[in-house]
Amino acid sequence: MTRLLARLGHILGAAVFLFTLVAVSPGWAQQPSKDNPNASAVQEQQLLRELNRVQGLVSIPDTKEGTLIQPQGREWRHFHEVTLRWIGAIALIGMVVLLAVFYLVRGSIKLASGRAGRTILRFDTLERTVHWMTAVSFIILGISGLNITFGKPLLLPLMDPQTFTNISEALKYAHNYLSFPFTIGILFMLVMWLKDNIPDSTDVEWLKEGGGIVGHAHPPARRFNAGQKGIFWIVVLGGAAMAITGYVLMFPFYAGLNIANMQAAQIVHGVVGVLFIAVILAHIYIGTLGMEGAFEAMGSGEVDLNWAKEHHSLWVKEEMGKTGSSAHTRMTPAE
C-alpha cells in the first residue's frame, strides 16, 4: 500500500511537472492550442481572398493606417510600374519618331520670300520672361517627373544605388520647388494671351489649308494661328491639371481626401504629364529646327517682317494699322 501510494505520488509529480512545462512553453501561450501559424485562417492570402484587404484596428487617430493591404493599392502599383511606363514610352518615343520622319520628309519650313531686313516686335520683355520661366520650370519638372516614372528601370542599373538616391532626391526637391514658378507662369500666360487665343473663323480656314505645315500654303492668321491656339489651351488646361493634381500629391490627404482620391490624382498627374511632355516636344521642334525664323520671336522678341507676313499676315496688318506707322518695327542691319 505504501509502495502504491509512493508510485501514485511519482505519477502525480511527473504529471504536474509535465503540465507546468507545457503551460509555460510559447506554443501554449498562443491561444487556442490547436492554432497553427501556417493555418489558412491566419494567412494573409486567405484574408485577402475573403476580405479583399488586410486591415485591423489602430489606436491612433489616423484610422486609414489600419489598412495594410487593399486591392486598389496593387492595381495602382501595376498602373505605376507597368501601364504608365507603356503610355509614357509610346507617347515620347512615338513623338520623337514622328518628328524625325516629318523633318526628313518636309525639312525646315523656310522663309519663302527671304528676309526683309526689317523686324517687328512679337513678344515684349514680360512675355518672354514669363515664357522662359515657365519653359525652364517645365523642362526640369519633366525630367524630374520622368525620373520618378522611369528612373528605377532605366537609370538605377547604370549606377550604384547611393548615386541614384542622391540624384533622385535632388530631382524631387527640384520638382517640388519648381512647381511654383511653373504655376505662376501658367497663370500669367492665361492673362497675357487669352484674348489672342479665342478660336475664330480664320482658324477653320488655317486648318483646312493644313496650316502651311502639311502643305506649302501660307494661310492667313492673326497673332496666333490655330496650331498655336491648340498649344496654348493644352498648356493652360494641362498646366492646371498638373498643378491641381501635383499639389494634391504634394500635400497628401488634405481637405478630406482619401487614398482613392490620392491614387486618382497620381494617375491623372502621370498620364497628363507624359502626354504634356510629348506635345511640348512638338512645340520645341516647330520653334527651333522645324521653322526658319521662329525662334527669334522668343529669343530677341523681334521677328523678320517677311516671316510675320508669311505666318501671321492678319496680325501684321492689325499691328501696322494700330500704330499707323512703323513704331513697332525697326530696321536691322543687312546680313
CB of 259 to ligand HEM, least distance (A): 14
Could you tell me if 219 and 212 are in contact, meaning their C-beta atoms sit under 8 angstroms apart? yes
- Residues that contact ligand HEM, how many (by CB under 6 A): 27
CB of 224 to ligand HEM, least distance (A): 21
- Classified as helix, coil or strand, 331 is strand
Identify which of residues 183 and 197 has a Cβ nearer to ligand HEM in the complex.
183
Tell me 303's DSSP state: E
The single residue listed with the C-alpha cell 494617375 is 267
Which position among 70, 119, 266, 329 is part of the footprint of ligand HEM (CB under 6 A)? 266
CB of 90 to ligand HEM, least distance (A): 14
Which position among 76, 123, 276, 285 is part of the footprint of ligand HEM (CB under 6 A)? 276
Q: Is 278 in the site for ligand HEM (CB under 6 A)?
A: no
C-alpha cell at 283: 512645340
The single residue listed with the C-alpha cell 501601364 is 83
CB of 182 to ligand HEM, least distance (A): 5
CB of 140 to ligand HEM, least distance (A): 9
Q: Is 76 in the site for ligand HEM (CB under 6 A)?
A: no
Could you tell me if 248 and 261 are in contact, meaning their C-beta atoms sit under 8 angstroms apart? yes
Exposed e or buried b for every residue in 18-41, given b needs 16+ CB within 10 A?
eeeeeeeeeeeeeeeeeeeeeeee
Looking at residues 178 to 197 of the shown chain, list those that interact with ligand HEM (rule: CB under 6 A): 179, 182-183
Looking at residues 200 to 259 of the shown chain, list those that interact with ligand HEM (rule: CB under 6 A): 242-243, 246-247, 249-250
Looking at residues 105 to 164 of the shown chain, list those that interact with ligand HEM (rule: CB under 6 A): 138, 141-142, 145-146, 148-149
CB of 238 to ligand HEM, least distance (A): 8
Could you tell me if 298 and 123 are in contact, meaning their C-beta atoms sit under 8 angstroms apart? yes
Could you tell me if 82 and 264 are in contact, meaning their C-beta atoms sit under 8 angstroms apart? no
Q: Is 273 in the site for ligand HEM (CB under 6 A)?
A: yes
CB of 243 to ligand HEM, least distance (A): 4
Which contacts of 112-115 are long-range, i.e. CB under 8 A and separated by 24 or more positions? 112/218, 112/310, 113/306, 113/309, 113/310, 114/306, 115/293, 115/304, 115/306, 115/307, 115/335
Contact residues toward ligand HEM (CB under 6 A) are: 80, 84, 138, 141-142, 145-146, 148-149, 172, 175, 179, 182-183, 242-243, 246-247, 249-250, 266, 269-270, 273-274, 276-277
